A and B are shown apart, each in its own frame.
Chain A
Amino acid sequence: MSTILEGKNLSLNFDGIKAVDDLTFSIEENKIVSLIGPNGSGKTTLFNIITGFLEPDNGEVYFKGKPILEKPPHYMANLGIGRTFQNLRLLQKITVLDNVLLAFKNQIGETFLGVYLSPKNKKEQEVNKKKAFSLLEFVGLSDKAQDLAENLSYGQQKLLTLACCLAMDADLLLLDEPVAGLSPAMIDKMFGMMKELKKQGKTIFFIEHNLKVVMEISDKVIVIDEGKKIAEGDPAIIREDPKVIEAYLE
């Protein structure tokens, strides 16, 4: 199994506070890995570093062996890293379908010349529409395709963000708290989809607070606290790790 993502000695200081402190980790291809830790431990910050929204003071990040630091976020996205956000970023004023269509890569219609070269453009949009519908079916939103994104429920919007990641053809999915605020039924549905995506060859790296919740689905767990990695490994072992228990009891 090859390593799809690894970070080495990542550090980031925010006005004196160590958001990330000498963090080293690795994610293997085609696994589901969870990143857990108490509030403010640096989980989202790590995601922001990996996806190019923040620059660390030190360290390196490799995706499929390629160094990816100091590149703009769209570069990572085009390499195959998709992510969702804690505060559910979406285009609220357009339809669900349009949101997904937006996410497809390398659209001819998105280039200036492509706009005026009608036949190729139209054909591509037709093909993408079909793909978009099948993705919406996968997440269970196909009947909402023509609704405005803002009219969806919270849980449905989360499913939409997942569909967008898939439309991006991402090999690595970074999901920031994918089940936070969802009903138990929805949580099961989300986990079901994550398992299905793993079967399809994707790698999932997700942030979660709840230790118990991630146990059943993760192949590996990485625990961080105050920017430092305090444990990394099999869920069953992590659960008994005294350092982890201490971090959560504090």
Chain B
Amino acid sequence: MLLIASLGIFIVIQNIISLVFGDDTKTLRTGVVKEGINIFGARITPIQIAIILTSLTLFVITSLILAKTKTGKTIRAVANDPELAIIHGIDTNRVILYTFGIGSALAAVAAILISFDVDMVPSMGFFALMMGVVAVIIGGVGSIPGAAFGGLLLGLAQNLGVWKIHSKWQDSIAFAILLLFLLFKPYGFFGRKVKKVQI
């Protein structure tokens, strides 16, 4: 049910953005486009370094919160067994609410970061959604390190793929990988078995 509602919100927000800001591509870049620093023959701009550092930091923080803090344990408890969580007095609806909020906030950070590097269009959210889904499946649902690993793997696969296959096929490659995983390794590399309904 949440899934469908979120699809609806996705459509609404994307179109509001289109309406308010227009469909043209916008940029957030500050200053002149520099060539970037040369590391081992590859070029990387300061912005990209900032992106890597920020994501690493956020990744570590999120993992620690989930693993060590009470909030994190509550979230994992609700994910693992919602009925049992209710019995223990946890307000599962509130937990789901703020987990959603945290996830959305993280997505927003990613968007801001990427906007400094490449341009913005109203449909960029959709692209991120697609990649996020694939990354999570590869890494395994329920595992933060898995998601990070999945994202990294996906990025590598896509960019290496562009080397040999035309870039327009990037998305399709991603989803072909997704389908392969669903077929052969549905829990990804680090995922837990999704708990089926209690009998």
| Chain A residues within CB distance 8 Å of chain B | 44, 48, 53-54, 85
- A161 nearest CB across to chain B (Å): 15
Q: Which residues of A contact B199 (CB under 8 A)?
A: 44, 48, 53-54, 85
> Could you pull out 5 A-B pairs where Cβ atoms are within 8 angstroms?
A44-B199, A48-B199, A53-B199, A54-B199, A85-B199
Q: Which residues of B contact A53 (CB under 8 A)?
A: 199
Q: Which residues of B contact A44 (CB under 8 A)?
A: 199
A19 and B199 CA atoms in complex are apart in Å by: 14
List residues of B (140-199) whose CB comes within 8 Å of A's CBs. Answer: 199
A156 and B199 CA atoms in complex are apart in Å by: 22
A53 and B199 CA atoms in complex are apart in Å by: 8
Question: Which residue of the partner chain B has the closest CB to A51?
Answer: B199
A44 and B199 CA atoms in complex are apart in Å by: 9
| Chain B residues within CB distance 8 Å of chain A | 199
The B interface, classified by DSSP as helix, strand, loop or mixed, is loop
Q: Which residues of B contact A85 (CB under 8 A)?
A: 199
Question: Which residue of the partner chain B has the closest CB to A89?
Answer: B199
A54 and B199 CA atoms in complex are apart in Å by: 9
- A46 nearest CB across to chain B (Å): 12
- B67 nearest CB across to chain A (Å): 18
Q: Which residues of B contact A48 (CB under 8 A)?
A: 199
Question: Which residue of the partner chain A has the closest CB to B197?
Answer: A53
- A17 nearest CB across to chain B (Å): 14
- B142 nearest CB across to chain A (Å): 15
- A114 nearest CB across to chain B (Å): 29
Q: Which 5 A-B pairs have the closest CB atoms?
A: A53-B199, A48-B199, A85-B199, A54-B199, A44-B199
- A42 nearest CB across to chain B (Å): 13
- A84 nearest CB across to chain B (Å): 12
A54 and B198 CA atoms in complex are apart in Å by: 10
- B187 nearest CB across to chain A (Å): 16
Q: Which residues of B contact A54 (CB under 8 A)?
A: 199
A85 and B199 CA atoms in complex are apart in Å by: 8
Question: Which residue of the partner chain B has the closest CB to A47?
Answer: B199
A48 and B198 CA atoms in complex are apart in Å by: 11
A27 and B199 CA atoms in complex are apart in Å by: 23
A250 and B199 CA atoms in complex are apart in Å by: 27
Question: Which residue of the partner chain B has the closest CB to A53?
Answer: B199
- A40 nearest CB across to chain B (Å): 14
- A183 nearest CB across to chain B (Å): 27
A53 and B196 CA atoms in complex are apart in Å by: 10
A194 and B199 CA atoms in complex are apart in Å by: 24
Question: Which residue of the partner chain B has the closest CB to A45?
Answer: B199
A54 and B196 CA atoms in complex are apart in Å by: 10
A174 and B199 CA atoms in complex are apart in Å by: 15
Question: Which residue of the partner chain A has the closest CB to B196?
Answer: A53
Question: Which residue of the partner chain B has the closest CB to A73?
Answer: B199
A48 and B199 CA atoms in complex are apart in Å by: 8
Question: Which residue of the partner chain B has the closest CB to A44?
Answer: B199
A44 and B93 CA atoms in complex are apart in Å by: 30
- B196 nearest CB across to chain A (Å): 9
Question: Which residue of the partner chain A has the closest CB to B198?
Answer: A87
- A176 nearest CB across to chain B (Å): 10
- A172 nearest CB across to chain B (Å): 18
A54 and B193 CA atoms in complex are apart in Å by: 14
A111 and B199 CA atoms in complex are apart in Å by: 27
